[in-house]
Amino acid sequence: MKIFITGGTGNIGQYVTLAAIEAGHEAVVLSRSPEKYPSFAQKATLVRGNITDYDLLADYIKGCDAVIHIALGWGKEPVSMLTNDTAATVNLLEMSEKAGVKKFIYTSSTAAMGQMRNVMAENMSNLPIDLYGSTKSASEAYTLGFRKYYDGNDVSMKRNVIRPGYTYSTPPFPDGVTQPDSRFRDMAEAIISDKPVVLTKYDGTQFISANEIAQLYLKLVESDKNEEVYLALGNMFTSWESIAKIALEMHSSSKSEIILNDLGWGAEPMRFDVGKMEKDFGLSFDSQERLREHIRWNLDWAVKKQAQM
């Protein structure tokens, strides 16, 4: 299968690209700065461009069997978010159908669901609480609702959605990347420097690693599923306090202390039901071993950074 991947050198995308290649597929990867990723250039076709470069995308999508859309567009207000992300997604969706692409996977986010309820599941209504969640929810709606044209022609392309939660990456290559969220790195730097680690009491989530979530992308793109939504998180809730304690155990010489800000959050965490990906694909991740590996990687990174100062 020839797969076009947007954002294929990023946090999640780098592992999706590797998983596709290791499974025997051909990967064509859209990247804004392909020269930064020589390791990927040896394994995939890298294309310099942005998700709003529509003519470029149309050229490279021709002949592809599947499109996996991971790249994110951004903006500071509703119109720029609409233009840079949702409109870009809709353009990619339509040109993929017109090019004869058979399968399309859209990368949404748990933010599309927005307002937290007791147990979050795929069949719940989206109630976004910010522009990012609204953008993702709107793009989901276009992806799933694109069943036919108003001239009566049906859409033949299978369209599915993955909603990642907090996804972290330990870089697979020296030129690989980690997640843009800096909390792991900030914590590691504080511990290396004997500074306090300031956290919110009971804050945490169902962490998942990028190489784990990549397995879901691969299973889905190789399946005949259509118009399905999958939550993609680990099955275990882990607090940031627990992560800090593990990091302090790993760097036992640190004099750092954990300071917890009490914002009145309850001790019982809000959870996401990840049973659907287990039921459909046999995938379930506690993510604990890889989480420890990621904590260790961040501590090693912080030590090297301090040594260079």
With cut-offs at 50, 70 and 90, classify the pLDDT of residue 152: confident
Alpha-carbon distance 96 to 98, whole Å? 5
pTM of the model: 0.96
Other residues' Cβ atoms within 10 Å of the Cβ of residue 106: 23
User: What is the share, in percent, of the chain residues with pLDDT greater than 70?
Assistant: 100
Confidence band for 23, pLDDT divided at 50, 70 and 90: very high
Answer whether 45's CB lies under 8 Å from 86's CB: no
Mean pLDDT of 164-178: 95
Domain with CATH 3.40.50.720 in the chain: 2-166+208-232
pLDDT band at residue 135 under the 50/70/90 scheme = very high
Query: Three-state secondary structure along 248-280?
Result: HHHCCCCCCCEEEECCCCCCCCCEECCHHHHHH
SS3 298: helix
d(CA 108, CA 233): 13
The predicted structure's pLDDT at residue 96:
98
The whole-number pLDDT of residue 117 equals 87
> Which pLDDT value is given to residue 120?
95
Q: How far is CA 195 from CA 29, 90, 146, 238, 244, in A?
A: 41, 46, 52, 23, 12
What is the DSSP code (8-state) at residue 233? -
**pLDDT tier, 150 (very low <50, low <70, confident <90, very high otherwise):** confident
Q: Measure the CA–CA gap between 276 and 121, rounded to whole angstroms.
A: 9
For tokens 């990023």, the residue is: 10
| pLDDT beyond 80 at 100 | yes
The CATH class, in words, for 2-166+208-232 is alpha beta
Average pLDDT over residues 259-288: 95
Instruction: Give strand pairing partners of 67.
Output: 4, 104
CA proximity to 43, closest of 20, 74, 13: 20
pLDDT in tens, 293-303: 999 999 999 99
Cβ neighbours of residue 66 closer than 8 Å, sequence gap 6 or more: 1, 2, 3, 4, 101, 102, 103, 104, 105, 221
Indicate whether 309 pLDDT > 80: no
What is the DSSP code (8-state) at residue 36?
Answer: G
pLDDT band, very low/low/confident/very high, at 58 (cuts 50, 70, 90): very high
Tokens of 38: 């020589």
Q: How far is CA 300 from CA 108, 293, 305, in A?
A: 32, 11, 9
- Residue-wise pLDDT for 175-201, tens only, equals 999 999 999 999 999 999 999 999 999
Around 303, how many Cα atoms within 13 Å sit in the side-chain half-sphere? 11
CA dist., res. 274 & res. 279, Å (int): 9
pLDDT for 287 equals 84
| Half-sphere exposure at residue 75, Cβ-oriented, CA atoms within 13 angstroms | 19
Distance separating alpha carbons of residues 80 and 275, to the nearest angstrom: 35
Burial class (CB in 10 A: 0-12, 13-18, 19+), 68: buried
**Of the candidates 215, 220, 222, which has an alpha carbon nearest to the alpha carbon of residue 284?**
215
